[in-house]
Amino acid sequence: MAMVRIWFVHNSKEIILKRIVLIAVLMLSPCKARKAFLIDLSGVVVQPWPLGRVKAYDKVALLSHIFLDLKIPSKERVFEFMDKLDFHAPEDFIKSKDTSNTDVPLPICLYQAGMVTAHEILAKAQEVPDNFFVSRREKRVLLNALAIAVDSEIHASIMKLIPETVQILRTLKEEHHELYLLSNWDADSIALLKTRFPDVFGLFDGIVLACHVGRLKPHKNMYTYALNTYNLQAEDCLYIEDQQECIAAL
């Protein structure tokens, strides 16, 4: 696709630089002449509060697991547990990656793509054999982590706007550019974010979610769906994204 692309990096030391570069690029006449801007959500428009999910943890189970089992639950262990759930995906299904470039477990990807429900995921989790867990305490901790991962209210509540991006969006809208959101987020979380930030979401001319397509970015169907749905030409678009593999897919 002949689409101009901008990659938002995650390295915190480069946050200020990347936004300066973004503003500079957007001010160049070739980009200002672009008809439409396709924009990622997480890491570009919103980002989580540090330790935002902590308040949702089952703290009794967590502390018991730490001090009695002498184990500190890691992301790798949580992902290992999620990957034990018995789900299958189509052959062309591409999993998304998290901010550390690690594959997101398949159940979460299928949930984002609208192919399974939170209820189905939590039910499958109960089928994981007890011998997988170090103890009943760890099982409680891992089930809690999974429940948080598919809780749209928690997911939406811990997000905050990135003010520099919001200002850029407002400027682009004032200059009569079209803005479209492309996201792997689930539909319920997006609905809650729209309620929290109606002014910002009101700037977008359209929203394309993975659940509309049944595939996640970086699958090409996400991009062709956006172009076809909103009658856009790739050469008239600029794409802003924070995941390198999504940029590379174009």
Q: Do 148 and 53 contact (CB within 8 A), yes or no?
A: yes
- Give this prediction's pTM: 0.87
pLDDT score recorded for residue 19: 55
pLDDT digits (tens, 9 = 90+) for 193-226: 999 999 999 999 999 999 999 999 999 999 999 9
Q: How confident is the model at residue 51 (pLDDT cuts 50, 70, 90)?
A: confident
For the cut 60, the answer to whether the pLDDT of residue 17 exceeds it is no
CATH of 4-48+159-248, one of 2.70.240.10, 3.40.50.300, 3.40.50.150, 3.40.50.1000: 3.40.50.1000
pLDDT digits (tens, 9 = 90+) for 142-178: 999 999 999 999 999 999 999 988 988 998 899 889 9
For helices 118-125 and 136-149, give the axis angle rounded to 10 degrees. 170
Considering only residues 126 and 1, tell me which one the structure prediction assigns the higher pLDDT: 126
- In the chain, where the domains are located: 4-48+159-248, 54-156
- Cα–Cα dist 235/62, whole Å: 51
For the cut 60, the answer to whether the pLDDT of residue 118 exceeds it is yes
From residue 117, give the alpha-carbon distance in Å to each of 22, 108, 187, 208: 37, 10, 11, 19
- Cα–Cα dist 167/4, whole Å: 21
pLDDT digits (tens, 9 = 90+) for 70-115: 999 999 999 999 999 999 999 999 999 887 789 999 999 999 999 9
- Cα–Cα dist 190/129, whole Å: 34
Of 34-48, 59-73, 216-230, the one with minimum mean pLDDT is 34-48
Query: Residue 47 belongs to what H/E stretch?
Result: strand 46-48
Q: What b/e string do you get for 3-13 counting C-beta neighbours within 10 Å, with b at 16 or more?
A: bbbbbbebeee
Place of tokens 């802003």: 240
Query: Residue 122 belongs to what H/E stretch?
Result: helix 118-125
